Chains A and B, each alone.
Chain A
């Protein structure tokens, strides 16, 4: 059974640009959560999607958005990039009725 797949693995952008990250959950998993990981703040929750609907949202500005498709794949978009958006972005999926979240390897975003 394939795990959570995130693409791309690495991205370099400049301030003001926008970026889209992709996440394919484990087959059969309908819930996808996104986290931002930085050395100083650790993992911080961005949002969760279930069956194409945003079910929960963290305390990030509106520049951070996401969506989920009918096949449960999810995308995360960050507009007007700032230097502070440099981080590892992690996607996790969990099965229905299951509390355990399984993580992908992440996308390392560097904003110059």
Chain B
């Protein structure tokens, strides 16, 4: 069964304190792995897509990496505005199926 597990469930950092969020997955053929950010009362906002092991993508203070079993979202020198829930999802390689399978997310709080 396709499954996504994120850890930790919650993370509290001081401003400038770098850390990493983990997303481990099992899927029958990976089409893509997605990272989203969700702020309270809003829908998920797309951050990155990774397609193959070894791939890395960066955006401002965020960097996403992918292996055959997990992905990491590295946050370098975070700021309070980075506080949000970070969601990981995978899409299986199965015809026209666009269904995303989601983890429960990591709730990140960055204190000034």
Given known pairs A48-B99, A99-B98, the reply for A106 and B46 (CB within 8 Å) is no
Given known pairs A100-B49, A103-B43, A105-B43, the reply for A43 and B102 (CB within 8 Å) is yes
Stretch at the interface among A12-20, A50-58, A60-68, A76-84: A50-58
Find chain B residues with CB under 8 A from A94 CB. 98
For the complex, what is the distance from the CA of A36 to the CA of B101, rounded to whole Å?
Answer: 12
Given known pairs A42-B102, A42-B104, A99-B32, the reply for A105 and B41 (CB within 8 Å) is yes
Q: Mark B31-57, 1 if CB is under 8 A from A, else 0.
A: 110101000011111100100000000
Residue of B nearest to A48 (CB): B98
| CB-contact partner of B99 in A56, A102, A104, A105, under 8 A | A56
- What's the least CB distance linking B38 to chain A, in Å? 9
Q: Does chain A have a CB within 8 A of B10?
A: no
- What's the least CB distance linking A45 to chain B, in Å? 5
B103 adjacent to A99 (CB under 8 Å): no
- What's the least CB distance linking B24 to chain A, in Å? 15
| CB-contact partner of B31 in A92, A99, A106, under 8 A | A99
B105 adjacent to A42 (CB under 8 Å): yes
What is the interface size of chain A, counting residues whose CB is below 8 A from a CB of the partner? 25
Residue of A nearest to B51 (CB): A99
A99 adjacent to B45 (CB under 8 Å): no
Find chain B residues with CB under 8 A from A4 CB. 43
B100 adjacent to A43 (CB under 8 Å): yes
Residue of B nearest to A31 (CB): B98
- What's the least CB distance linking B51 to chain A, in Å? 9
Given known pairs A99-B49, A99-B91, A100-B34, the reply for A45 and B100 (CB within 8 Å) is yes
For the complex, what is the distance from the CA of A102 to the CA of B87, rounded to whole Å?
Answer: 14
For the complex, what is the distance from the CA of A106 to the CA of B41, rounded to whole Å?
Answer: 8
Tell me which of A6, A45, A105 has the highest count of chain B C-beta atoms within 10 A of its own C-beta: A45
Q: Does chain B have a CB within 8 A of A101?
A: yes
For the complex, what is the distance from the CA of A102 to the CA of B46, rounded to whole Å?
Answer: 7
Find chain A residues with CB under 8 A from B41 CB. 105
- What's the least CB distance linking A105 to chain B, in Å? 5
- What's the least CB distance linking A48 to chain B, in Å? 6
